[in-house]
Amino acid sequence: MSLWLKARRWRTAIVNLAIFVAVVGLSGDASVPLPALTNSGGLGIPLVLLSPMIVVVGTAIGIASGESELDAVACRPILLLDNCYAAGAAMIGVGACVCLWAFGDSELTLSAGRNLLGFSGLYLAGRAALGSQAAPAVPGFYFVLATIFGRRQGQEVFGWAWAVSRDASPSTWLWAGSMLLLGLALSLRGRRRLYSGLSG
């Protein structure tokens, strides 16, 4: 187990989580301009909504760097451990966001935790479908699509575009949680695809 954790760069994962929490806690309402169909000048998307990619990309790099041909034939359930590693990092980040919100941070803090949950699920789904190297691009691609196409003319956010919603409503959490469950389910079924490229 210690070798597996070392191969997945768990110390780097802790640093990434700390950076994520710092960004969420300190960035406030700072935003980044992104294009949108319903606004010719683009939209200012709160930085905290995109900050979960710090954790997702860091976790993805750790998992990808630790993969080897031995994983495919290992006695330990490596794929299950990797899923728990990604989901566990997400849950720790969500817990930190809830704590920040409880101590007075804005609702955007909860939205950041929600996005971490959903982005982790999209990463796991991408890992099952595309392999570990390309998987981190999936939540990023989704976020861009949600930013461009995810709003009605009146700026109301479509349900599927939960990641760009400033509001941490139960429905957006339901979407994000569903993404995590979907990612875990697809990842557990994608063992052959994940390791097929390692033996070439």
For the stretch 40-94, pLDDT in tens is: 555 678 999 999 999 999 999 888 876 654 455 455 677 888 888 999 999 999 9
Query: ∠ CA(98), CA(121), CA(101), 5° rounding?
Result: 10
Q: What pLDDT sits at residue 36?
A: 62
Max Cα distance, the chain (Å): 55
Q: What is the mean pLDDT of residues 171-191?
A: 89
Rounded to two decimals, the pTM is 0.86
Tokens of 108: 């955007």
Q: What pLDDT sits at residue 200?
A: 46
> How far apart, in whole angstroms, are the C-alpha atoms of residue 182 and residue 138?
14
CB atoms closer than 10 angstroms to residue 142: 20
Q: What is the mean pLDDT of residues 11-39?
A: 83
> How far apart, in whole angstroms, are the C-alpha atoms of residue 162 and residue 176?
7
Q: What pLDDT sits at residue 82?
A: 87
Closest C-alpha among 159, 10, 171 to residue 84: 10
Range with lowest mean pLDDT among 24-28, 66-70, 149-153: 66-70
Range with lowest mean pLDDT among 36-50, 118-132, 142-156: 36-50
Q: Report residue 1's pLDDT band, with 50, 70 and 90 as the boundaries.
A: low
> How far apart, in whole angstroms, are the C-alpha atoms of residue 149 and residue 105?
29
Q: What is the mean pLDDT of residues 142-147?
A: 92
Range with lowest mean pLDDT among 57-71, 115-129, 186-200: 186-200
Q: What is the mean pLDDT of residues 26-50?
A: 75
